[in-house]
A and B are shown apart, each in its own frame.
Chain A
Amino acid sequence: MKCYLKYGALISPLGTTIEDHAHALLSNNSGIKQVEGSGFNNENWFLGKMNELSGDYDALLEKALGSLESIWDAEILKSPRTGIFVSTTKANMRLLPGDTFESTRTLIKKELHQEVDPVIISNACISGVVAVNVAADYLKAGKFDRAIIIGIDVLSDFIIYGFQSLFALGNEVCKPFDAERKGISLGEACGIILMTNEREEGVFAEYIAGASSNDANHISGPSRTGEGLVRAVTKTLERAGMDKTEIDFVSAHGTATIYNDEMEAIAFNRLGLEQTPLNSLKGYFGHTLGAAGIIELLSCMISMEKNTLIKSLGYQQCGTTQTLAIVEENREKELTTILKTASGFGGGNASLILKKVQ
């Protein structure tokens, strides 16, 4: 059983459609800006904050779901053969102390006229990549014919103060892998990927394989050796039956903290992927946590469709002990096979491989 991917929806500070995002990414526009008084002591942190709907999880989810009708007809959206998968770290925090995940279920069932609860994945920053891997499991096992994979998280004081308390935020638009990088810019977004077992109109990438791993090292600090990421990617390549030389491009996690980016540089060197073009999209969106994997995969799909490597925004000079082939300017390249990775709290790592449908 094969799994094909097509665009669903993408809403972020860069726009509300795939076209908006294609334009913004190809123009190297960042959605991150300085937000006055956003810190715990009123610091002016740099955030990928939306003008409308910022912090409003339910409204953002509803809006993203609303755009699906133009892609799949109502019969498909409500079909019991269509599975719904949601990647989110915190869902709707405004509902605390009530059930923060309940509105996700009710909204999805109402908007799509679905009867079955969605499968919700909450696995920190790797949730998005894991959600795609889980959806593929269901399709490959014949449990569903199609999947709607939603990645969503919004900004909140909770999240901003938390990353601030970890000294993980940088006082600038984030600069993944750069020598001057100072830390994360947080962001918010909702992305939807559609997966189908048929080569229907609009599909142009095939999901090949994926895997996850744990660093078994620390619950919040990145591994010094990149062990978990190395194992996740190695397993992904094994399952895909591919060699690393077949990878045309790596969409890395690249949060712009000193330790995360260093860990990734070590891992990709250990994997022999140091010559493969690589970027981090955090300079465009900021780190959107549970949405990150999904919106970055949608961006990879844009990159594949346009056969263009997108500049790793914020990068100027190598800032890791081992070098990587960071994409310094947009450039045309035939992109057949891409590797997406993510790493996060809890020591989790996940990766997957997509291949263009010829």
Chain B
Amino acid sequence: MSELKENLKAQIIEQLNLEDLTPSDIKNEAPLFGDEGLGLDSIDALEFIVLLDVNYGIKISDPSDAREIFHSIDSLASFIESQK
């Protein structure tokens, strides 16, 4: 699980062009979206959907379902684990 989380962080930084960040800047439990966390926005959420499809073969058909899944690294990792 911790390896999955580290991989996710690296993939997010790569896919979303968060070049000023390193994986260690992203806390597992911190919110990814909104002003408090990483400040990601709606387009980033759509890129997450692409990322899950490309890297984990998981398809999400309705972005509004994804809000809770994309809350944090923790929630993303649990979701990916649950799909295995």
Do A and B pair up? The answer is yes
Per-residue contact bits, chain B 27-71, to A (CB 8 Å; 1 contact, 0 not): 000000000000001110010001000000000001100000000
Question: Taking CB as reference atom, which chain A residue is nearest B61?
Answer: A167
A164 to chain B, nearest CB (A): 11
B31 to chain A, nearest CB (A): 18
Question: Taking CB as reference atom, which chain B residue is nearest A258?
Answer: B64
Question: Taking CB as reference atom, which chain A residue is nearest B60?
Answer: A167
Q: Does A221 contact B (CB under 8 A)?
A: yes
A residues 212-228 touching B (CB-CB < 8 Å): 218, 220-221
Question: Taking CB as reference atom, which chain A residue is nearest B45?
Answer: A167
Q: Is the CB of B46 within 8 A of A167?
A: yes
Q: Which residues of B contact A167 (CB under 8 A)?
A: 46, 62-63
Q: Is the CB of B46 within 8 A of A221?
A: no
Q: Which residues of B contact A218 (CB under 8 A)?
A: 41-42
The CA-CA distance from A166 to B50 in the complex, in Å, is: 11
A residues 128-168 touching B (CB-CB < 8 Å): 165-167
The CA-CA distance from A221 to B63 in the complex, in Å, is: 14
B69 to chain A, nearest CB (A): 15
Per-residue contact bits, chain A 160-187, to B (CB 8 Å; 1 contact, 0 not): 0000011100000000000000000000
Q: Which residues of A contact B43 (CB under 8 A)?
A: 166, 220-221
The CA-CA distance from A221 to B41 in the complex, in Å, is: 9
Q: Which residues of B contact A165 (CB under 8 A)?
A: 46, 50
The CA-CA distance from A166 to B42 in the complex, in Å, is: 9
The CA-CA distance from A165 to B47 in the complex, in Å, is: 9
Binding site for A on B (CB under 8 A): 41-43, 46, 50, 62-63
7 A-B contacts (beta carbon < 8 Å): A165-B46, A165-B50, A166-B43, A166-B46, A167-B46, A218-B41, A220-B42
